[in-house]
Chains A and B, each alone.
Chain A
Amino acid sequence: MATPAPKNPVVVIGGGIAGITAAVEAAECGANVILLEKRAHLGGRVARMHKYFPKLCAPYCGLELNFRRIRENPAIAVHTRAEVAEIKGQYGDFTVKVRLQPQMVNANCTACGKCAEVCPVERQDHYNYGMGTTKAIYMPHPMAFPQRYNISQKACIGKECGKCVQVCEYGAINLDARETVLELKAHSIVVATGWDPYNGAKLQGLSFGVSPNVISNVMMERLASPEGPAKGKLVRPSDGKEVRDVVFAQCAGSRDENHLPYCSSVCCLASLKQAAYVREAAPDAKIFIYYIDIRTPGKYERFYRKIAAEPNVTLIKGKIAKAEHDPETGGVIITAEDVLAGKKITRKTDLLVIATGMQPAAQNGVGGLKADENGFFTNAALARGIYAAGTARLPQDVSSSIMDATAAALKAVYGGRP
């Protein structure tokens, strides 16, 4: 293309699927790119998914390809544990102030794992949404990129322990590392800060956090994953008992003015997909999906029809607004109206999966950029040269996020209007 590559790099905020895509696409258009990720590894929420809908393939397949594109492209610099503090300037000449959290494990790490063997501290495994624990020095999963260990500063006791430093043969660990600040010049900025699952504990009456057998949909992804805390076996978190009956509660927080007033757009498909996990792991288990409306737009309608026709899958119109721990069976008792039958029903189930919606991760803004009243960034409200992409802009699925990120990358390189 005739347009010369921009002088300053494109800065991409967020290393999830949208940010990775934007970074790779912009770089492959000839721009220099700096990709910033606040966690220690790239991949975001997608890295924690068991499978994608509608093809039911593993997200790591696509992530691996993208990691290779990053590794092989010298135009892309990646900073992990990097948080944006401030954005100043205008299109073509932004200054982005970045706080780099202490880099206690450097690139010498070979992921041999000896450090974790000697580490005396256990912490909650956030990667698995609190199901299980890791050491204070840990690798979230075997495929993590960059392929190096990370130290939880909160959990680590520090130098007085220092066992990991002693055992590391590569000099990869430095417990004295301090926070540093980077000032980056930027031609343009892509905001791809992604989403968090809505906190199910805020949904009064659903017993999330009260009964261990009430889990969120993102936890279900980990539960179904062979790398997850249950090694992919479908068992009750409370006692490891095999699950014979699963209930999905749709719109757990979404389409609710007391919580998330918008539709999160992916949860219906996610639950249908997870019904497929159950079908595979426990073919005899009964599956019930309670919904307000099943929203599977466009070609996803086919996926809905396919799953709805599966044996043991029942879809019931009516929102679950009450779920209680069942002291008798250790399971969960749900209450809803079966609208089409005109009956109020209660049902005992082994596992209740609440389809919690998408909440923007940077709902309070990033680096001084303001989000809208729901926490999303709308391009119309951003200055020229700053483009939101993926679920930071609106709730959407992975393939839409990727298209969105590609569009944002092109605007970022060629200076499109928002």
Chain B
Amino acid sequence: MNNTEYLEPDLAFVARLKRAGGESVKKCFQCATCVAVCDVTQSDRPFPRKEMIWAQWGLKEKLFYNPDVWLCHQCGDCSTHCPRGAKPSDVLAAVRNLSFIEYAVPGFLGKMHSSPAALVALFALPAAVLLLAAIYANGLVMPEGEIVYSRFFPLAVIDSIFIPAALFALITSILSLKKLWSGMKRNSPGKGDPDAAAVFGAVKDILLHKKFAQCRTNRPRYTGHLLIFFGFLALFATTNLVMMYHYLLGRETPLALGDPVKLLGNAGALAAFAGVSYIIARRLAAPDETGKTSYQDWTFILTLYAAIITGILAESARLADIPAAAYPVYFTHLVFVFFLIAYLPFSKFAHMLYRTAAMIYAGSNGKNN
């Protein structure tokens, strides 16, 4: 037979997957209840039943390089209805956890992000860099008088750290995405070139949170994710607008509270704070509905939370004029922000890259329902 396919079961991978949050994978008996109750899956080659048998057999190439694992939004409807407690949504989440490591270029950063032992080292880097920068900029002496963060860290110093960090994230993101994309082309049928309609469709779905809205079991996450998503979009825009103020208009921070850019930033921070608070509360109160929360989930969620809270506290301390609190908090805030930006393709933050890529790939290949 010329269409014989040789499967190479990888039992070590199955064991890894179980450790990464998919310990229920072997309970699946392929009844396909999951596909029937999933409102997010496409009809042709639907998920997650086929992923469950791939996972049981340790067919990691198929799992990692197929857009469907990323089209899953972990609604949990499959796990709710699963007659065996095989929890497909947790298994697919575990595959995604391992995917962050698999796609990562350079690979060691992916591994570090899945290992609690490496967490201190990952935080030590930005802490050391920012400490050196602070020594260079102000000899670690808190400026006298009115609190102005740009007198502690001049914008040029900030930019000389954060622009390279962002460029590093950008380049490694592109390399990691390329790995995913070429893998998907290798493994799934279709031409594999993105088309404009698919890009437009994916962006529209993401902005409207269309898939989240189709979830039933974990429906509340729609609200939480929407708040975080648009909160961070607002904060991202604020950061860029502040740079434009500085370099184009010569307007310096801190901006007045009534300034439109300041309003945008504050609104974004509050929305993101509300969203992350809600997500954390849900994960603690209703783990049956949110699914398992892995190490990567917690690291990402708590880093986000820490960045938002230190940001809000830094602004509050500045307005309350408490320099002893303001400058250390601001410093901590920058450490968390660095962590989020520089390590973007290696932490769970990267879900936005891979999910978007998978949605575009699927859309381009006629798999978007």
Contact = CB atoms under 8 A, between A and B. Distances in A.
B36 A335 contact: yes
B35 A344 contact: yes
Interface in A235-274: 251, 255-259
A311 B84 CA distance: 34
Contacts of A292: 29-32
Most buried by B among A205, A258, A321, A322: A321
Nearest to B85: A257
Contact of B46 (A256, A257, A322, A337): A337
Nearest to A261: B83
Nearest to B37: A321
Given A257-B84, A258-B83, A337 B49 contact: yes
B150 interface: no
A344 B30 contact: no
Interface string A327-346: 00000000111010011110
A318 interface: yes
Contacts of B33: 319, 321
B81 A344 contact: no
A343 B37 CA distance: 14
Contacts of A317: 32
Nearest to A205: B37
A109 to B, nearest CB: 47
Nearest to A292: B31
Contact of B45 (A318, A336, A342): A342
Contacts of A336: 32, 35-36
A255 B83 contact: yes
B8 interface: no
B259 interface: no
B81 A321 contact: yes
Contacts of A258: 81, 83
Contacts of A322: 36-37
Interface in B6-53: 29-33, 35-37, 41-46, 49-50
A205 B35 CA distance: 14
Size band of the A side of the interface? 20 to 34
A342 B84 contact: no
A31 interface: no
B28 to A, nearest CB: 11
B83 A344 contact: no
Contacts of A335: 36
A320 interface: yes
Interface in B167-209: none
Contact of A251 (B30, B31, B42): B31
A344 B31 contact: no
A355 to B, nearest CB: 13
Contact of A318 (B36, B81, B85): B36
B83 A257 contact: yes
Interface in A59-90: none
B288 to A, nearest CB: 12
Contact of B30 (A257, A321, A339): A339
Interface string A179-222: 00000000000000000000000001100000000000000000
Most buried by B among A255, A344, A345: A344
Nearest to B29: A292
Contacts of B85: 257
Contacts of A204: 81
B32 A339 contact: yes
Contacts of A255: 29, 31, 83
A319 B31 contact: yes
A27 to B, nearest CB: 43
Nearest to B78: A321
Contact of A337 (B35, B81, B83, B84): B35
A335 B38 CA distance: 10
B43 A344 contact: yes
Interface in A265-322: 292, 317-322
B330 to A, nearest CB: 51
Most buried by A among B30, B35, B43, B50: B35
B140 to A, nearest CB: 60
A84 B150 CA distance: 87
Interface string B78-93: 0001011100000000
Interface in A343-368: 343-345
A345 B32 CA distance: 12
Contacts of A345: 43
A257 B27 CA distance: 11
B367 to A, nearest CB: 12
Contact of B43 (A318, A320, A339, A343): A343
Contacts of B32: 292, 317-319, 321, 336-337, 339
A258 B85 CA distance: 9
A256 B41 CA distance: 23
A251 to B, nearest CB: 7
B50 A342 contact: yes
A110 to B, nearest CB: 51
Contacts of B37: 205, 321-322
Contacts of B46: 337, 342-344
Interface of A: 204-205, 251, 255-259, 292, 317-322, 335-337, 339, 342-345
8 contacts: A255-B29, A259-B83, A319-B32, A320-B36, A337-B32, A342-B45, A343-B46, A344-B44
List the 5 shortest-distance A-B pairs measured between CB atoms, nearest first. Answer: A256-B83, A321-B36, A337-B35, A337-B32, A344-B46
Given A319-B32, A322-B37, 16 more contacts: A204-B81, A251-B83, A256-B83, A292-B30, A317-B32, A318-B31, A318-B32, A319-B33, A319-B83, A320-B36, A321-B37, A322-B36, A336-B32, A339-B30, A342-B44, A342-B50
